[in-house]
Structures are given as structure tokens and as C-alpha cells.
Structure 1
Amino acid sequence: MAIIEVKNLTFKYDQDSDHYTLKDVSFHVKQGEWLSIIGHNGSGKSTTVRLIDGLLEAESGEIYILGDLLTPENVWEKRHQIGMVFQNPDNQFVGATVEDDVAFGLENQGIPLQEMKDRVNQALELVGMSDFKQREPARLSGGQKQRVAIAGVVALRPKIIILDEATSMLDPEGRLALIETVKRIKEQYGITVISITHDLDEVALSDRVLVMKKGQVESSSVPSKLFARKDLQLLGLDFPFTQHLKDSLNQAGFELPDTYFSEKELQEKLWESISKM
């Protein structure tokens, strides 16, 4: 079942210009799926998710969320079903403490006090930030700030979480920890995840990858099929570590299939090759 359907979406920022940021974009997102959207800067990926969240309005085309056509009349209702985490978490903080910040959205929705406290505690525990409830958000590290931002989204119990380059400002260790946190939340609550990213670890964890190029959908595939492509750098991605290692092993005499392997799969394939020597 598709939780999001995008049909023939067209958009431009300057109405007097002939340049369209999006041109006839169509795709769907399945219930419970993790969809990564990749592409060079200016390819239209961030514009697409802002249209889905109702932050922008398309010139033409349709967006369906949980079966309902997104309109100016129901945009606020639909936003309650979508949680969005941006690149810079500082732009999302409004509370004096971590606890206050996570509770802010719940207060706006009029959630009863005890339920609000329970949701805040559950969300902070889920992202591993329970011990930081009374800390000022400004005094947290970048990874901790993003965890709090995600907790604020999770507490609202959305059906969909959108990560708009949410890991791009973190170091590799922080990125991986945050991705694993989102994966755990997705599996526990059955949430649908859309991530705008350039991070290979994030792409590798997704169920499907949408490649955008010059305002259009260039392709849709599973990560393994994407990583097997020879033109990744033209899409704004580097080749995965395992692909570099596999190429080196082939040059050293190992005959490995021309397909993508995860680190575990490559390890198993190497043991299999060594055992036959």
C-alpha cells in the first residue's frame, strides 16, 4: 500500500522564470518503507519533500498522503502525520531544556499533561537521551541535538518521518549512530522514512533509492543495484568501501561477481573463495 503518491509534480521558485525546479515528477512511497532520495545539489530532492510536507505549493500535479489529496484546506491535518528533521537542529529548538523542547509540539496539540509526560519520556528513552532531560539544547553536541530533534518528532507519533540531510553535519560515528536510531524507531513503530542524503551508510539501510537529476526522477532501485552502477560519482555519490575493496581484490586475482556486496556479504564471499584454494 502506498502511503504517499506523487503524480506529475511541477514546481518553480521564480514564476517569471522558464526554469523549473521540478518537472513532471511522479513516484510513490510504500507503507513502512525507507526511501532514500539522492542527487546533486539543485536536483530537486529537498524541494520535493517540502512539497510533500506542505511547506511549498506545487504549480501543478497531485500529492496523496494516506489516500487523501493534499490541499490548502487539509495541509495542517496532513502535517500532523509527518515529522520533519532538518539539517541544522538548532533551527528547530524552542524550549529552554531538552524536556521542554520535546514537549513543545505536544502542548500545541493539546495533549493531556500525563500523556504528554509519558510520550516525552518514551521518546527520549528511545533515542538514548533520557539522562539529558534538564540540559539546555544549545549545550549538546551535534549528534545529541539531532537525537533530541528526532525525539520531538517521534513524540508526536507521525506516520511518516522525513530526514532532510539530517546527518550531513555529523561526523561518521555520529551519522551511523543516528541512522541506527532511526532504523530502530522505524521497526518499532512501523513508521515510513524518507531521507534526503549523500551518506552511503544511510542509503545502504534504505529499502529503495530514488535518484533525482535536473528536476526529474532519473531512476528507482534497491541500494545493491544502485551501488553496482559505474556512474555513481555523476550522481553525487562516491563508490562504497566494499566496491573499492572488491575492485582491489579482483586485481589481486580474486574472481568476484560484478555486483554490490555489503561488508558481511563480501566477508562471506572471501571466506568461500579462500576455502577453495
Structure 2
Amino acid sequence: MTILRVAPFSLKIHLNNMTNIIEVQNLTYRYDSQEETPVLKNLSFHVKRGEWLSIIGHNGSGKSTTVRLLNGLLEADSGDIFISGDKLRADNVWEKRRQIGMVFQNPDNQFVGATVEDDVAFGLENQGIERQEMLKRVREALELVDMQEFKTREPARLSGGQKQRVAIAGIIALRPDLIILDEATSMLDPEGRFELIQTVKKIKDRHQLTVISITHDLDEVLLSDRVLVMKAGQVETSTTPRDLFSRPDLQDLGLDQPFTNQLKDSLLELGFHLPQHYLTEKELQDYLWELL
């Protein structure tokens, strides 16, 4: 009988590749080779398959630079990126880009089609998708983002929120494994931000996608499974939204205080005795109901 022996280290690498869609190891990057201080310095983190990871931090902390490196739009000075277990290299960057869909801050920069459905179909045409399959994917993607009735409209005549929905539809039609939202809601009003994030959540849950969100928006952070706090090109901490919102230095991280924290502070001043840790609106409501 032959006994198969697997080295523990090899087994660990295999398991990580199965559970992590992204592995970043010791990335360093400078926009200018003459820069003394790099934008990213020995940055390491992972993204689990199927999770929603929010990345927060002040402007200049390296958030957007990081996701551009993940998509091969920039090339690191040193360090490695693994996507679905494969090291990102010059000879596979186009293949790996097909696994990642990016939605940027300004959707106008992504539009190329004369109509909404033309724009959603553009990436599929570039990939040589057969026409009937392409029409099916365009229809399904527009239905997912509730934009089917706007399919013959010019993208330029849509509202900001509608434009971002179309941009997401164009990504969804390509069937990526991972969606990156790079400040995708920052130009929208509060209602538009909330609707867009709920749309992304619906798509994520339906198709078991992985989401990375670069954001300052509290609703995006609250929906995430995990939060990376970046500072000066490195990960300051990896935490849960609940633990993050329990921190007293949220404004130093570029975030506003959640409504429940603001309400708790006001109630504490009035003499109410409340837990120090973060409470969701439902938890705060239940706690106040018990007190009263």
C-alpha cells in the first residue's frame, strides 16, 4: 500500500489558495522611483472568497493604489499578489483582469456605448461572446440592477445613481469572481448611495461574489464582513465593523460617527447607562425599550 505524505507547509498553502481569492504579500510601491517614502510599504493582507471587505483610511493612505495593483493597472516595486492561487504576472494579467470587475468613482469615465444596453454589451463584444449569449447576459445584468426599462437611453442622460447601476451591470455581465468598488458611491446623494449598496449586496448574495469596497460611507462599512484600516501605506488593523465603530478615534480614520453612537453620546449626557461598545440601531432600540 502506498502512503501519500503531504508536507504540512504545502497543505497550508493549498488550503489558503482555496479559501482566499486574494493574497497580498509585502507589496511596496512608489509612483516616482525618486520618492523617499513609498505609497505602500511591505503591505500584506488577504481577501476571503465570498466576503465583503471594506478598506478605509485617510486620503493618501494607499487605498486606491492598492486596488489598482490588484487589477494590474499598476506594477509593484516589490512583493507578490496571488489571485485565486495564481501569482499575478505580466503574462497572465489580462486573464486575471477578467476575474475582477472595477467600478470607479465617476461612471462617465467608463461609458463607451451610445445606449445603456450597448454599453453593457461592450465588454462582452471584446471577449468575443456569442450574440445570443451576449443578449441574454445584457438583459439579466440590467434586470439585476433594475435598469432594464432604461436600456435604450443614452448613459449621459441618466442620474448619478442610474449611471453607477449601469456601470455595475457592465461588470456583472462579464461574470467576474470579484467586484472592486473604488469610492463608487462618493458622488451620490445619501439615498442614491444606499440604493446602490443594497443593489451590490443583492448581486453578491445571489452570485456568491467577493466584494472589495474602498469607501468612507458608513452604510458600505456596516454591510461588510471585515474592515481593513490603512494608514501610511500599511494595514493599521483588520477588524469587524462592530469593533471598528467601538473605537473613539473614528474621525481620525476619516469616518463620521454612526447615528447610534451620536445618539448614545446624547443619552449618556442625560444620565442613561448604556454599554460602551457599538450598538446597531435595532440593538439600541431594544436596549432603550428594556430601560423604559
TM-score, length-normalised on structure 1? Answer: 0.98
How far apart are the structure 2 equivalents of 1:131 and 1:269? 44
Deviation string, structure 1 residues 20-78 (Cα, Å, up to 9, x no partner): 00000000000100000000000000000000000000000000000000001100000
Bigger radius of gyration, 1 or 2?
Answer: 2
State the alpha-carbon separation in 2 of the partners of residues 265 and 109 from structure 1: 48
Of 231, 250, 256, which residue of structure 1 is paired with 2:249? 231
The structure 2 residue matched to 1:18, chosen from 25, 28, 36, is 36
> Where do 1:1-277 residues align within 5 Å?
1-274=19-292
> Which stretch of the first structure deviates more once superposed, 253-262 or 66-75?
253-262
Which residue identity lines up with residue 140 of structure 2 in the other structure? Q
- Structure 2 unaligned blocks of 5 or more: 1-18
2:16 alignment partner in structure 1: none
The Cα shift of 1:253 comes to 2.3
- Alignment partner of 2:38: what SS? coil
Deviation at 1:273, TM superposition (A): 1.6
- CA distance in 1 between partners of 2:142 and 2:287 (Å): 40
Partners in 2 of 1:265 and 1:107 — Cα distance? 49
Q: Which amino acid aligns with 2:189?
A: D
Which residue type is aligned with residue 114 of structure 1? Q
Distance 1:174 1:132 in 2: 17
Find the residue that maps to 1:64 and give its secondary structure: strand
SS at match of 1:17: coil
The superposition leaves residues 83-130 of structure 1 with CA deviations (integer Å, 9 ceiling, x where unpaired) of 000000000000000000000000001111111011000000000000
Aligned residues: 274
Structure 1 alignment gaps of length 5 or more: none
Distance 2:82 2:24 in 1: 6
Counterpart-to-counterpart distance in 2, 1:224 and 1:206: 10
What RMSD over aligned residues (CA atoms) do the two structures have, in Å?
A: 0.6
Q: In the aligned structure 1, how far is the partner of 2:133 from the partner of 2:78?
A: 41
Deviation at 1:7, TM superposition (A): 0.4
Q: Normalising by structure 2, what TM-score?
A: 0.93
Partners of 1:134 and 1:233 lie apart in 2 by: 43
